[in-house]
Amino acid sequence: MPSPITAGAVVYAKDLPRVSAFYAAVVGLRVTHAEHDHVVLEAEAFQLVVHAIPAGIAASIEIADPPIHREDTALKLVFAVPSMSTSRAPAAEQGGEVDSPEREWRFQSYRVCHGHDPEGNVIQLRELD
């Protein structure tokens, strides 16, 4: 039996496959369910649902290349990663980014760095120090 989900988040995406692939590749979430309008990714007791933005709304949204960071939101997703340095290449390959090592800082027992997914949603990665 899978572990019970105790925390989770929903991210709305214009490009459902691309955004889902980013979170799987960069933070190691595994796809546990997928349908035409959403993908469920999980790690231990956390679940991330990437949900497609309805087509009528998505048509009016333009994602720049590179994406503009969506920093004007009240929430930021935080993910633990085994290695900040090995997260940078998959992030770039999937259309996102993890900021350079010069922008890292320490918080509690973690090395921390910001990044963004392919649609500009800002994330924070934490590596146990």
Residue 2 lies in a domain: no
Crossing angle of helices 16-27 and 84-93, rounded to 10°: 160
Residue 91 lies in a domain: yes
Residue 61 lies in a domain: no
Q: What is the CATH number of the domain that holds 48?
A: 3.10.180.10
Q: Which domain holds residue 115?
A: 7-54+67-128
Q: What is the pLDDT of residue 1?
A: 53
Task: Express each pLDDT in 96-111 by its tens digit.
Answer: 999 999 999 999 999 9
Q: How far is CA 95 from CA 1, 4, 14, 59, 86, in A?
A: 34, 31, 13, 20, 15
User: Per-block average pLDDT, block size 10, for the chain (129 residues)?
Assistant: 84 97 97 97 95 95 91 92 96 97 97 97 96
Q: What is the pTM of this model?
A: 0.93
Residue 59 lies in a domain: no
Q: What is the pLDDT of residue 22?
A: 98
Q: What is the pLDDT of residue 72?
A: 86
Residue 100 lies in a domain: yes
Residue 30 lies in a domain: yes
28, amino acid identity: G
Residue 1 lies in a domain: no
Q: What is the pLDDT of residue 3?
A: 72
Residue 77 lies in a domain: yes
Q: What is the pLDDT of residue 8?
A: 96
- Per the structure, the count of domains in the chain is 1
Task: Express each pLDDT in 29-47 by its tens digit.
Answer: 999 999 999 999 999 899 9
16, amino acid identity: L
